[in-house]
Structure 1
């Protein structure tokens, strides 16, 4: 590709629509294996991602974007507001709203005080300290849930790792390493518990067979509700931080 990796594109309002034209962020993604131009919404960055096969032109990508402009504008507008790690910002922890409170003269890094996430030290360190606190809390809560599920199925994970994935809440590698999105710490505990049970069950069945789902349902009873929660509320978690 010989055009910018990212840019803003103004899409005209659909015929008959009351909404004005909308400027949306577009990220162009080169994909050597792609056979056609495709488009998706990235909820984390709040942008349209257009995947381009070799020799595809920007003009062709823009044509696809304009053809589906109404869909793109609707999806971008429907995204949850972005939440930055800043004093006064509110985010979920275990499904419960918590507020970031900056206490520059205190010590202790970042810690919980009721429903406040207290962050000490200079403002320059606040963002990193909130991120570190959430990752540590996610690791603690996930590890506590892995142990009983693994014992129930008679399996032992090789390791537990945290990631910041865009599309998967958890994964199980062939070597038995379990990986989870740290953003699960914001979900209700029963939703996190389902994701943990799902990945632990893969230590017994590396597939989605009937046997696999039987293991999951043995561990948790909220599978359908948790999947629905992640479908509806999950994209908002990607807008945090």
Structure 2
């Protein structure tokens, strides 16, 4: 069983029953609360459980708000382009990256609240970010490696939703295409972070000492700044 209710303070709440659930639980994802109860659970009890935890839920929603929809009003500046979404007299969606602007044309009467439209727009944005990441990140990484005396055996670009980057024991570095959503000084911070892992594979004091050395003592400030950004 699944149904959606709306609370004026908490927003959209998805009520669901799961055969694997053994207790009443609440989870927040992308600004939506999912309330799960066992088979045979009591909806009134579930709603009471939500009311009992309303303050905690409000605080959690403040930390994990819903991502805004991609629409004609969206303003987004990435490392290399500005996003421009617009509607025009055409039958399909079209994307063009030109002179620092990613133009995404949508048919007139496009319903931007439609989940399928949002997935399509995110897919086009992801394609552009992947193109820019492949075009720019490898040379930037190897230049930083040369500048600071690191050895990197390889680089891969992927679409991680949880890590900006990672380093393997063989000193190969994986980078998320979402790095292209960051300003360049934070891109360099992530690249240097992974390069430091080619020497120190953990986050020991030695690692952070090395990070301070290659960031002029700004590693912690840059780390805090990075937490204010989200992946695609």
Which residue, out of 67, 88, 112, partners 2:98? 112
Q: Distance in 2 between the 1:148 and 1:160 partners?
A: 16
Q: Distance in 2 between matches of 1:22 and 1:185?
A: 33
1:157 aligns with 2:150: no
Higher RCO structure (Cα 8 Å, ≥6 apart): 1
Q: Who wins on radius of gyration, i.e. which is larger? A: 2
8 Å CA contact 2:165–2:194 kept in 1: the answer is yes
**1:16 alignment partner in structure 2:** none
Q: Is the contact made by 1:139 and 1:162 (CA closer than 8 Å) also made in structure 2?
A: no
Cα offset, 1:129, TM superposition = 3.3
After superposition, the Cα gap between the structure-2 partners of 1:56 and 1:89, relative to the gap in structure 1 and judged at 3 Å, is same
Q: Under a length normalisation based on structure 2, what TM-score does the superposition of the two structures give?
A: 0.67
Partner of 1:73 in structure 2?
58
Residue in 2 that maps onto 1:47: 32
CA distance in 1: counterparts of 2:96 and 2:81, whole angstroms? 18
Q: Label 1:57 to 1:64 Cα distance change in 2 as closer, same or farther (>3 A).
A: farther
How many aligned residue pairs are there? 213
Cα 1:40–1:104 change in 2 (3 A) is same
Unaligned runs of 5+ in 2: 109-116
Q: Confirm or deny: 8 A CA contact 2:160 2:177 kept in the other structure.
A: yes
Unaligned runs of 5+ in 1: 12-19
1:171 maps to which residue?
A: 166
Pairs within 5 Å for 1:1-241: 4=2, 8=4, 10=6, 20-26=8-14, 41-42=28-29, 45-48=30-33, 65-76=50-61, 79=65, 81-84=67-70, 86-87=71-72, 89-94=74-79, 98-100=83-85, 110-114=96-100, 116-119=101-104, 127=121, 128-151=123-146, 152-165=148-161, 167-221=162-216, 222-231=218-227, 233-234=228-229, 237-238=230-231
CA–CA distance in 2 between the matches of 1:129 and 1:220? 34
Over residues 14-35 of structure 1, what are the superposed CA-to-partner deviations in whole Å (9 max), with x where a residue is unaligned?
Answer: xxxxxx443334598x9x9xx9
In structure 1, what is the Cα distance between the partners aligned to 2:170 and 2:35? 34
What CA RMSD, in Å, does the superposition of the two structures yield over aligned residues? Answer: 4.2
Question: Structure 1 residues 38, 205: CA separation in 2 closer, same or farther (over 3 Å shift)?
Answer: farther
